[in-house]
Amino acid sequence: MSMESYIPFNKPHLTGKELQYIEQAHAQGQLSGDGPFTKRCNAWLEQQTGCKKALLTHSCTAALEMAAMLADIQPGDEVIMPSYTFVSTANAFVLRGGVPIFVDIRPDTLNIDEMQIEAAIAPKTKAIVPVHYAGVGCEMDAIMAIADKHHLLVIEDAAQGIMSSYKGKPLGSIGHFGCLSFHETKNIISGEGGALLINDERFIERAEIIREKGTNRSKFFRGQVDKYTWVDIGSSYLPGEIVAAFLWAQMDEAKKITQKRLAIWHAYHGALLSYAREGVMRLPVIPAECKHNAHMFYLLFGNLDMRTRAIEFLKQRGVLSVFHYIPLHSSPAGAKFGRAHGDMAVTNDTSDRLLRLPLYYDMTEADTQKVIEVLSILF
Ligand SMILES: *Cc1c(COP(=O)(O)O)cnc(C)c1O
């Protein structure tokens, strides 16, 4: 296998404007956070999602941690979430002493099964954390109705969901909070990066304080107080201006990036549909009310053996594919800090059978065709 013919699983995309904006940030003299580039990114997110307030953070993990503080999670409080997700979804709440209650996923979208949420609610339940897997929206109408009825907060883990929507509403703008990621494995990137979207005004002032080390520094800069001081718990959750300048170059091209990814996604889907109809594997399911961002293209094989064989087959022919997640309820920390509600049958099963194909902006048509060709030989 020669290096030229090798197709990686992911390759971070550069728009070409990153260095120009970083140079501007350098020249403007402010390198710490909340300078002109951070403000531009926040404003873009507010316009793009319609949230009441967007605050850039240094990661989605940081945004989730801020949301856990804003939700006032106390030791023993329960938080309902899927087990089929990245560790940060749970960790953010465990850091506050919260207990993740893992609920199974739907077999079609692989999102939290909204029909199983209500049975997992107990007197100590404080919040629900839907994760929009692959940038495809959870059944948010049902989830918001359950949260309303039981007076729970909803924190959307929209790490994979930038430029996606559910019934016309951008992901991250539906619950009380939305958490986005700009990690280099996501669609719009800044290396490490994220944002907290606040959709309920009551939380804005405290969010600014928590993000600025527990001080009222933001108010000070707006001239609303004449000195700033320590007023609450908090940490340093904001990125520096260099990172924000990089991110601004990406936001500028968010539409173009999404369109290109969607084109690759549809090429895969169209070419593999006939194999799926034969029952060799199944393709992603996108509900009619969801517009997605082509964050991911996955295949669901019949069993673990078939998936293992597929990974090896692709690798031998120069195509790198990956699987995830090890369900949180069966990980050492998940078993220690959390609890599964129900048998988790779909989660366990999916974790064994799912395979992610290469999907990145700079994939050429020839790259996509090669992946499809190798898969056709396998099938
Ligand atoms: C990537 C991801 C995160 C973490 O994002 P970071 O920005 O790396 O902290 C959290 N949740 C989900 C579902 C993710 O995919």
Angle between helix axes 36-49 and 18-28 (nearest 10 degrees) is 130
Give the torsion sign (CA, 136, 309, 82, 257).
negative
pLDDT in the model for residue 3: 52
CB 135 within 8 A of CB 296: yes
Angle between helix axes 36-49 and 241-251 (nearest 10 degrees) is 40
CB 49 within 8 A of CB 188: no
Q: How far is the CA of 130 from the centre of ligand 1 (A)?
A: 13
CB 326 within 8 A of CB 351: yes
| Residue 359 structure tokens | 């999907």
Architecture of domain 18-251: 3-Layer(aba) Sandwich (3.40)
94 lines ligand 1 (CB under 6 A): no
pLDDT in the model for residue 4: 57
Q: How far is the CA of 190 from the centre of ligand 1 (A)?
A: 13
pLDDT in the model for residue 5: 75
Q: How far is the CA of 225 from the centre of ligand 1 (A)?
A: 35
pLDDT in the model for residue 1: 46
Give me the long-range contacts of 274-282 (CB less than 8 A, separation at least 24): 275/375, 275/376, 275/379, 278/379, 280/379, 281/306, 281/379
Q: How far is the CA of 134 from the centre of ligand 1 (A)?
A: 11
| Residue 92 structure tokens | 């953010």
Q: How far is the CA of 83 from the centre of ligand 1 (A)?
A: 14
Half-sphere exposure of 110 (CA within 13 A, CB side): 25
Going from N- to C-terminal start, the domains of the chain cover: 18-251, 254-378
Q: What is the pLDDT of residues 160-201, one digit of tens each?
A: 999 999 999 999 999 999 999 999 999 999 999 999 999 999
Pick the atom of ligand 1 nearest to 193's CA: 7
Work out the angle at residue 155's Cα, subtended by the Cα atoms of residues 154 and 160, and round it to the nearest 5 degrees.
135
Cα–Cα distance between 162 and 348 in angstroms, integer?
27
160 lines ligand 1 (CB under 6 A): yes
92 lines ligand 1 (CB under 6 A): no
- Ligand 1, pocket-test mutation among 88, 110, 136, 356, most atoms within 8 A of CB: 88
Architecture of domain 254-378: Alpha-Beta Complex (3.90)
85 lines ligand 1 (CB under 6 A): yes
The protein residue with its alpha carbon nearest to ligand 1, atom 1, reads 159
Pick the atom of ligand 1 nearest to 64's CA: 10
Q: How far is the CA of 180 from the centre of ligand 1 (A)?
A: 8
Mean pLDDT of the chain: 97
Give the torsion sign (CA, 268, 253, 61, 8).
positive
86 lines ligand 1 (CB under 6 A): yes
Q: Where are the alpha helices (DSSP H) in the chain?
A: 18-28, 36-49, 60-70, 88-94, 140-150, 204-211, 217-221, 241-251, 254-277, 304-316, 332-337, 345-353, 365-378
pLDDT band at 94 (very low <50, low <70, confident <90, very high): very high
Q: What is the pTM of this model?
A: 0.97
Least confident of 1-10, 101-110, 131-140, 175-184: 1-10
In 3D, which of 346, 251, 342, 341 has the Cα closest to residue 46? Answer: 251
183 lines ligand 1 (CB under 6 A): yes
pLDDT band at 61 (very low <50, low <70, confident <90, very high): very high
Cα–Cα distance between 107 and 348 in angstroms, integer?
11
Q: How far is the CA of 181 from the centre of ligand 1 (A)?
A: 6
Q: How far is the CA of 283 from the centre of ligand 1 (A)?
A: 23
Q: What is the pLDDT of residues 349-368, one digit of tens each?
A: 999 999 999 999 999 999 99
Query: What is the chain's Cα-based Rg?
Result: 21
